[in-house]
Structure 1
Amino acid sequence: MLKLKNKCFKIIFENLKEKARPIDRERFNYHFNNAGPEKLLREIKKYQNEDGGFGQALEPDFRLPHSTPMATSIALSYLKNLDNIKPAQALIKRTISYLEKSFNQSRNGWYAVSNEVNNYPHTPWWHYDEEAKMIVIDKNWGNPSAELLAYLYRYKDYNNSIDLNPLIDYAVEQISEKDKYESENEIYCYLKLYEEVDSKTKSKLKAAITEGIDEVIVYEQEKWEEYVPLPLDFVPAPEKESFGVSESKIEANLDFYVELIQQSKNTLVKPPWGDSFYQTDLKEAYQEWQGNWTLKILIALDNYDRIEK
């Protein structure tokens, strides 16, 4: 079992301070340095718009400043860790109001972004197809609708207009009736929903999530340097439901991450999808991803006690 050397961890921290976005620096400080929530909350708030939703390139790959359900789902994943304090609760309340207003009745959920995304720098997978009236991500209902539904369920006291019970049933139906699982990102969203719902709904979701993970997960270690769904993407902490993910492969994935950081030559980890889409007006986004990706790996290692104290 490998552990990240403390010396390497400290160097990475210095690089994060210098090169990562302020929001990722404060997420690091909150997780690793026992920092209070105030600075992190202040950084999250910078991405919130007047309508309560989030934008401002919180998702680095599209620079649309206006609110989108996708960017809002990212913000809520951060705010969830702070929701025991009143200032965060105030932000969440406004965010839930945005989700109510942006809910699409005919979809029974949300579209990830609007066609406005095309007016700003973005990677190809965020391009809005005017003929299809959606982006390619929207072909799978659960991303981000299942995750947003998870937050609506968690913060149901702030919800005034969306009837959650039939939506939960619809979400279960959507994943249970799949013949093929084409999007690991959709499964990640269902994992968020699974964490929030009651035990009866968990039992309905578990088999489908387990089947989906088994279909998309990549266990072949020679492929792990590519952008593929790894064991830790589905079980990022030991207390999480494992859904049948191999424990030995989780341990191997942790070893892989330790080696990846130690081989990154004391800088930040580059995301595995490469920089070919970031050569012009998205160079800033690629730099932002390096801080975000490095932090994701460090948190997973810490969750499994794989960082030398």
Structure 2
Amino acid sequence: MNQLTKELFEKCKKYILEKGRPLEQHLFINYFVKPCELDIINDLKKYQNTDGGFGNGIESDFTLPYSSPMATSIGLRYLSRYDNQNEAILMIKKAIAYLENTYVPERKGWFAVPREVNDFPHAPWWNYDEEKGMTIIDKYWGNPSAELIGYLYKYREYVANLDVDNILEYAINNINSREVFESQHEIYCYIDLYHTLPKKLADRLEGTLEKAIRQLANTHVDEWEDYVPKPLDFIDNPNKTYGIDEESINTNLDYYIDNIKKNNIIIPTWAWNDYEEQWKIAKVEWTALITLNGLCILDKFNRIEK
């Protein structure tokens, strides 16, 4: 079995700890070295605004300092892992209040980012279309609304004004009514929702998620240098593979290892083609994050040399 050598692991570690943001550095340390949950929570405080939402470039492809539902989904994704800590709960409560204040009833969810995103460096797919009143991302309802509804459900004791059960029912029916799936990012958000739900509710999503992932997961290795959804993009651990076959998973694990052998890191497969100086910064941030995510998935599948 192809494994990542200790030497290559150390090279990845060096990059993350020297080039990554403090958030990614502490995420690495917490996973591979020793617990440092409070450090991660303190890092996240730098991205949370006084209105409870997250911004300030927590998502490296847009630098909008103001709060947005999309950035808040990322903040809550991390905080939900450490909700055994009182500091995390305080931040979660504020974020839930922000989500209630920005909820769009006629959409039964949220728009990803406000129009002010255009005033700051960002990737082209985050450009707010004034005519349509949204970004191209918002074509797919579930990104980030499905994920955010999961956090409302998980932390419903802090929800004051929204009917969580009604909104959740809409989210489940929204995806289950479809036969064709076009956005991997929307499915990532539904996977996050799936993981927040009790089994009885999660079971209602499982078949549709497997169908969507069969449609979207690209198994052609020769295309993986482009920005395509690979099998492991849908999988967080070996215990939940959504019907993806073992051969595809192993091929993807080998690809990560070969990629690190080639570059000593995992490099983003996309670029902004605009705001060149800011993209240089974002590329380094993304490289640290996706290298970290690659190491974590390799570790979970026992593909790192002990």
- Shorter-chain TM-score bucket reads over 0.9
Distance across 1 between alignment mates of 2:274 and 2:211: 32
Distance across 2 between alignment mates of 1:212 and 1:302: 26
Aligned pairs (5 A) from 1:242-257 = 242-257=241-256
Matching residue's letter, 1:139: K
The alignment of Structure 1 onto Structure 2 pairs a total of residues equal to 306
Cα contact 1:278–1:285 (8 A) shared by 2: no
Cα contact 1:5–1:307 (8 A) shared by 2: yes
The Cα shift of 1:278 comes to 5.4
Distance across 2 between alignment mates of 1:11 and 1:217: 29
Cα contact 1:275–1:286 (8 A) shared by 2: no
Aligned pairs (5 A) from 1:229-268 = 229-240=229-240, 242-264=241-263, 266=264, 268=265
Distance across 1 between alignment mates of 2:12 and 2:274: 25
Cα contact 2:122–2:275 (8 A) shared by 1: no
Residue-by-residue CA offset, 1:153-204 (whole Å, 9 max, x unaligned): 1111111111111111111111112242110000000001111223232222
Distance across 1 between alignment mates of 2:262 and 2:237: 23
The Cα shift of 1:35 comes to 3.0
Matching residue's letter, 1:305: N
Aligned to 2:282: 285
3-state DSSP class of the match of 2:294? helix
Question: CA RMSD of the aligned region, Å?
Answer: 1.3
Aligned pairs (5 A) from 1:30-69 = 30-69=30-69
1:113 aligns with 2:95: no
1:24 aligns with 2:16: no
Cα contact 1:123–1:277 (8 A) shared by 2: yes
Matching residue's letter, 1:223: E
3-state DSSP class of the match of 2:106? coil
- Deviating more after overlay: 191-200 vs 138-147: 191-200
The Cα shift of 1:275 comes to 5.9
Runs of 4+ in 1 over 6 A off after TM superposition: none
Aligned to 2:208: 208
Residue-by-residue CA offset, 1:44-71 (whole Å, 9 max, x unaligned): 1110100111000111111100000000
Matching residue's letter, 1:151: Y
Distance across 2 between alignment mates of 1:190 and 1:236: 13
Please point out which of 289, 297, 303 is paired with 2:294.
297
Aligned to 2:143: 143
Q: Give 5+ residue unaligned stretches, structure 2.
A: none
Distance across 2 between alignment mates of 1:55 and 1:28: 22
Matching residue's letter, 1:289: W
Aligned to 1:127: 127
User: CA distance change for structure 1 residues 275 and 7 in 2, over 3 Å: closer, same or farther?
Assistant: farther
Cα contact 1:278–1:286 (8 A) shared by 2: no
Aligned pairs (5 A) from 1:120-199 = 120-199=120-199
Distance across 2 between alignment mates of 1:195 and 1:281: 34
Distance across 1 between alignment mates of 2:193 and 2:101: 20
Q: Give 5+ residue unaligned stretches, structure 1.
A: none
User: CA distance change for structure 1 residues 40 and 251 in 2, over 3 Å: closer, same or farther?
Assistant: same
Matching residue's letter, 2:221: Q
Distance across 2 between alignment mates of 1:238 and 1:86: 30
1:306 aligns with 2:298: no
- Deviating more after overlay: 274-283 vs 188-197: 274-283
3-state DSSP class of the match of 1:162? coil
3-state DSSP class of the match of 1:288? helix
